């Protein structure tokens, strides 16, 4: 038997790096991919330091042809694909109408289209591995659209829909598809981001918090009820609960208050 494998995008820093190290410590062969070459070299050193093994390389998630080539090479060398983690993401905050078209397009291309291309390219390898999984990094901003984060929030809503659809569509192939929903996380993606919601809610989660939650979600205890969405951190769980059981106008009012800080 070969080692179980995990393929992580956006692995050079933040949640991706913390997740790569989490799986490396636990005996997985880690496929770490990013556009940050220097960050990948540091990741290699850190994985080796914890006794792990890795296959690292450059991947532009917005390029479907690049996905096809990189996953084919990974599958040949690793021999299997147990878990795909669509983590790569970008965030730009500010007034919607003041952002350039290029800024909006980049978020759509990386955050959503990248996950679409990745899932599609990975499918042939996932279905050949019993009990394979796909993890999409969603966000608590997919609970209700966030002012100053409109397009980012919209990409996470789209990712939520993709997750739910594939979770059903790929069940006959023994592929489980789930989404992680953290609130704001202490990563470089939030450098320079100052919105009403970040000020009112704060930034309390660490990349390691999310990485541990991803590990737990992909190695769940036995349950009669399948779980698709995993909220990370107490605030995200409370917001999701409120949105689920409160009338829509209450959810809107809560978000309006948070966006006025």
Report the C-alpha gap between 254 and 214 in whole angstroms: 28
The predicted pLDDT at position 225 comes to 79
What stretches in the chain show pLDDT beneath 50? 1
Q: What is the CATH number of the domain that holds 173?
A: 3.40.50.720
Provide the number of structural domains found in the chain.
Answer: 1
Alpha carbon separation from 209 to 16, 157, 172, 182 (Å, rounded): 12, 22, 32, 9
How far apart CA 116 and CA 254 sit, in angstroms, is: 32
Per-residue pLDDT, 253:
61
Q: What's the confidence (pLDDT) of residue 185?
A: 73
In this prediction the pTM is 0.88
Straight-line distance from the first to the last Cα atom of the chain, in angstroms, rounded to the nearest whole number: 55
What's the domain range around 33? 5-258
């Amino acid at each position: 038997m070969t080692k179980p494998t995990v393929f992580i995008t956006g692995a050079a820093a933040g949640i991706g790096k913390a997740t790569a190290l989490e799986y490396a410590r636990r005996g997985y062969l880690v496929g770490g991919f990013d556009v940050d070459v220097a960050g990948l070299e540091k990741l290699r050193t850190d994985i080796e330091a914890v006794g792990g093994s890795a296959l690292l390389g450059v991947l532009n998630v917005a390029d479907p042809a690049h996905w096809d080539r990189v996953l084919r090479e990974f599958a040949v060398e690793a021999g299997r694909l147990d878990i795909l983690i669509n983590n790569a993401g970008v965030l730009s905050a500010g007034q919607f109408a003041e952002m350039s078209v290029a800024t909006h397009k980049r978020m759509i291309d990386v955050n959503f289209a990248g996950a679409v291309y990745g899932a599609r390219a990975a499918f042939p390898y996932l279905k050949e591995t019993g009990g394979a999984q796909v993890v999409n990094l969603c966000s608590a901003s997919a609970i209700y659209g966030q002012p100053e984060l409109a397009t980012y929030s919209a990409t996470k809503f789209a990712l939520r829909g993709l997750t739910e659809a594939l979770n059903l569509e790929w069940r006959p192939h023994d592929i489980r598809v789930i989404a992680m929903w953290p609130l704001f996380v202490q990563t470089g993606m939030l450098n320079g981001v100052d919105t009403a919601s970040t000020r009112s809610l704060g930034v309390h989660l660490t990349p390691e918090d999310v990485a541990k939650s991803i590990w737990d979600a992909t190695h769940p205890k036995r349950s009669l009820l399948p779980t698709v969405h995993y909220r990370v951190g107490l605030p995200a769980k409370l917001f999701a609960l409120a949105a689920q059981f409160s009338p829509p106008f209450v959810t809107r009012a809560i978000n309006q208050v948070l966006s006025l800080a």
